Amino acid sequence: MVNNTNAKPRDAWGSRLGFIMAAAGSAVGLGNIWKFPYTAGESGGGAFVAIYLFFVIFIGFSVMLTEFAIGRKTGLSAVGAFKSTDRRWSFVGIMGVLSGLLIMGFYPVVGGWSIAYIYKIASGLLSTPEAIGDSFGGFISNPVQPLMWMALYLFLNILIVIRGISGGIEKAGKILMPLLFVILIIVSVKGLTLPGSSEGLKFLFSPDFSVVDSNVVLAALGQAFFSLSLGMGAMITYGSYLKKKENLVQNTAMVTAMDTGVAILAGIAMFPAMFAFGMEPAAGPGLVFVVVPQLFAEMGGMIGLLLALLFFIGLSVAALTSSVSLLEVVVSYLIDEKGMKRPTAVISSSVVMASLCVLASLSLGGVGPTLFDTGAFDIFDLLTDKIFLAVGGMFICIFAGWRLKRDELEKEITNDGEVSFPLFGLWYNLVKFVIPGLIAIVAIAGIMSGFDSGKGAIMVMGLVIIGLAALFSKKL
């Protein structure tokens, strides 16, 4: 396929289903199954879920549509998409590449834990339920073991991305995504049949807004961006491979619905069973890795073992189809902007990511540098999840609303008038006015309340990095 602004032939998605599966594969990942449940658990449950859903519908959907439209219109990846319109805007793409690098500085660590748990469960972890909690703590703070699993995880990413977009990513997504849905449904049904499980549903779905402060609101906004893979150009890059005849609105709706469905399903898979067993919802990042095995151990027998195995296979697969898109953002920048060959681009970005992951993993054992009492793992997470993605999304909207022309966008989204999108005016005004304003307010309030801990300073540092990116991006 040859694009309008780009004379180079460009890979395209082999089929419509392939695109949906790959984009949903990018969205559905550790964010849904690892991060969503523990963040909801720590942030008071129902109220967090309600605010998260509000952000998904009113911000996430619109930003995703914007990213797909920019990507397909320019036929370029994150940086090129902005640069080809106006060089001054390339910092938004550069920020995206930076976010990709930083998220890949901790994501493969957790992806590695997930693969490790397949092995641990197969080799008898469930037979000593009392030891599961300590075993997780001991495992992630071990200086060597998690690094080996991280390396294996990163290696799998390299294998997929090196084969290129329709060969590798598309095939992986198509086979592995449906498997994940099935596993989560089985696990949820099992959890819901336990006595006392209804308390878990209440925790997830009946909001108590008295527990909400600006921290919770920013956490919900960050979660919406992280989970939908927005704000860093991943969906711009994926959109750039999208054929001109595809219906962008429909694709956006399907990806958003699938991602949100999986997050809610992951919540239903976990909380009812946790409450049934009298466990703690605010268990933190270890929640999935402690509670799920414990839950299946108490269930006992072959079924418990099998479900636990399937769960962690599903988690690993979901993580993999997401991290390949993170890697792809960095790789396609190096290919499109720096003229690198794909294998060179993949290997060189993976080396940087692996180094960051080593810092992140060691920080969990209290080893390595800290900043404001925060280790590398938490710094990378905080910077990207709370600042870069949301602020990136804000700039993407400002770019679309104020720099691109309204009729250009309308043409792109409606395929030159062939697809009807009666809500175009609403979408346009959301993107131009409402979303940038709302993100700015939520981010500022969240940063202010972050000063109660060391987090505020790190978030301000994130803003400074964005400023520097804006200043120097013309050189990159």
Binding residues (CB under 6 A) for ligand PFF: these are 26-27, 29-32, 103, 226-227, 229, 232, 234, 322, 325-326
35 versus 190: smaller Cβ distance to ligand PFF? 35
CA distance 428 to 249: 13
Residue closer to ligand PFF (CB basis): 113 or 226: 226
Strand partners, 9: 2
Smallest distance from the beta carbon of 225 to ligand PFF, in angstroms? 8
Are 439 and 59 spatial neighbours (Cβ–Cβ below 8 Å)?
yes
Distance from C-alpha of 44 to C-alpha of 281, rounded to nearest angstrom:
9
Nearer to ligand PFF, 132 or 337 (CB): 337
**CB of 12: closest distance to ligand PFF in angstroms?**
20
Q: What is the DSSP letter of 14?
A: S
Opening angle at CA 111, ends 109 and 115, nearest 5: 115
Residue nearest to ligand PFF (CB): 31
Residue for token pair 């409606």 = 414
Q: Quote the least distance from Cβ 107 to ligand PFF, whole Å.
A: 7
CA angle at residue 260 from 254 to 263, to 5 degrees? 140
Judged by beta carbon, residue 149 or residue 226, the one nearer ligand PFF is 226
Distance from C-alpha of 259 to C-alpha of 272, rounded to nearest angstrom = 20
> Quick check: 430 and 61 in contact, CB under 8 A?
no
SS3 readout for 145-156: HHHHHHHHHHHH
For ligand PFF, give the closer residue by CB, 90 or 229.
Answer: 229
Helix (H, G, I), strand (E, B) or coil at 9: strand
Cβ 130 to ligand PFF, closest distance in Å?
A: 31
Q: How far is the CB of 422 from ligand PFF (least distance, A)?
A: 29
Rounded alpha-carbon distances, angstroms, from residue 85 to 127, 400, 463:
59, 11, 24
Residue nearer to ligand PFF on the CB measure, 103 or 346 = 103
Q: What's 3's DSSP letter?
A: -
Q: Minimum distance between the CB of residue 316 and ligand PFF, rounded to whole angstroms?
A: 12
Across the strands, what pairs with 375?
A: 370
Nearer to ligand PFF by Cβ, of 232 and 409: the residue is: 232
Q: Tell me the closest approach of the beta carbon of residue 47 to ligand PFF, in angstroms.
A: 21
Question: Scanning the structure block, which residue is given the tokens 């710094």?
Answer: 379
Least distance from C-beta 238 to ligand PFF, angstroms?
9
> For ligand PFF, which is the closer residue by CB, 68 or 226?
226
Q: How far is the CB of 370 from ligand PFF (least distance, A)?
A: 25
Half-sphere exposure of 447 (CA within 13 A, CB side): 17
Residue 38 to residues 45, 223, 263, 344, Cα–Cα distance (Å): 9, 11, 11, 37
d(CA 40, CA 28): 17
When the beta carbons of 231 and 375 are compared against ligand PFF, the nearer one is: 231
Contact criterion met (CB below 8 Å) for 326 and 238:
no
